[in-house]
Structure 1
Amino acid sequence: MRGKRSKQYKKLMQQYGLSFGFREPYQVLLDADIIKDADRFKMDLIGGLERTLHGQVKPMITQCSMRHLYAAAKEPGVSFLIDKAKTYERRRCDHRPEDYPEPLSTKDCLASVVDAKGSKTNKHRYVVASQEPEVRKFMRGLLGVPLCYINRSVMIMEPMAGATAENREKEERGKFRAGLKRGSGSLKRKREDEDVKEESSVQEDMPKRKKAVNGPKGPNPLAVKKSKKKPEGPATTFTEAESKDLKTKVLKLEQADGSEPILASIKGKRKRKHKSGDSGRAAPVKPEMADEDG
């Protein structure tokens, strides 16, 4: 089975399951002709049905279809098919030989089984596998009947019939409208009431804010220059007096409380004097040192 066709069949059975309640194992009604054709094409009938329907199947055969096989028992290979059909579940159609000396046609028999009360519905969720076109034509008029047949050794599943598709679309629209009404009705009101209760509880738990008083606003804190920190202790000012002749620098510190200034001497950098032509001359003697010698 090709992948595209397999996906279509799987989707189709999902639609039957959602709209009409089909579930595994699927009950498949077989007629005598499809059993013969499956044997003629050397085909696994049950395996083909399971691959087509994408699930386990429960093959069933009616009493009238069994009588059709018994009538053709003289044909070659039919006796083997009769033994094989006996392994399938027997679906009683209430067409007894005492009441009906000749078996009913496949169309009448399957119609009485699928739609026993004439309500045009597939109450028991049967899948009909038949080779007769008249049977498939009649089953298309019923709601929710999947149809299968063999075409050149390939199991084919018919698309959803027109009446069934229309009924499914009608139900889908009804569900959609019911969902809209239900969503816009009591459920929506309940949600709104719950939201209002939650908002009121949150507002009660939050502390009340003070009302802001309108007035002049200060400058933008991001645009204001930051103030520098003042040093701790008494503020002092320094005045520097320099002299070219002195080798030291005197700093006068004035205290903020008006007390006496503090003099501090800071030794300056020693300057080296270069001698120019006076290397042999003795250094002059200071007058203080001469007095002490005298």
Structure 2
Amino acid sequence: MKLVFCGTPEFAVPTLEAVVAAGHEVALVVAQPDRAAGRGMEIRVPPVKLAAEKLGIPIVQPEKIKNNIDFRATLEAIQPDAILVVAYGRIIPDWMLALPRFGNINLHGSLLPKYRGAAPIQWAVANGETHTGVTTMVLEAGLDTGPMLLAQVVPIGVEETAEDVFEGLSSVGAELMVKTLAGFEEGTLWPVAQDHSQATLAPILTREDGLVDFSRTAKHIYDRWRGFQPWPGAFTSLRGKKLILAKVCPGADHEGEPGTLLLRDGSLVAVCGEGTGLVLEEVQMEGKKRMAAAEFMRGYQVKSGERVGI
């Protein structure tokens, strides 16, 4: 097929590489513009752009696409059989949806209709799901509401973070996209409507999502910590300053008020909801370096009975 590929982050790179390796012609790659990011505001180039350069594929990085006359003319001149959309980060306008004969094929990081939205992988992990997956679908105007094509279930390990799951799903998704294109070429693939009554949402993450609520159980807090790696992470406050929970795990049950710190056998434990305990293995006080709990307890003279989150 002749394709246009729209994608931006590392998650999309394996799919781009896989469709090229499968023999498809990617006539154009569309990525978001290079952005200044981080404390130093250094210019960061989208991983998909770097991959396209290695593959020798032309690249465009329009700031806007909905009413971009030049961009529209470029795509109409290509007349692609399909437009592939993998974590591009832009809403696809109606004129793009209508352009290719096979439509705009999206790789979504969940088993639709669950976890529609911007952060499906993070929320699946944060909600303690034991499995997730990837789905190829035909994009339409609604948010991840289009008919499904193929899906692949992937288990989530009990200690896996969202970063771990991203890596696994990106390779599984690449294979699924190749199978999807083969199904279209062979005429063996037919879109299936989603059951909208089963839909759940996975909204874009905010910094506030990382604020720990110690009235929740330790398992719940741990799952959210796993899901929100690397951002927004998990944080609370101690002695009036922000305390980042860099590494945690559920521990033994402990009685006490949620948010109470306990020193137990050299470990630092926070009491959580329903009498559960969360072991704080590594922490980082605001403006300071990340450190192991033992070093932190010595350096800050932490005492049993102190409270976090107040």
TM-score higher than 0.5: no
Structure 1 or 2: larger helix share?
Answer: 1
Structure 1 or 2: larger strand share?
Answer: 2
TM-score interval, normalised by the smaller of the two chains: under 0.3
Q: TM-score if structure 1 supplies the norm length?
A: 0.24
Structure with higher Rg: it is: 1
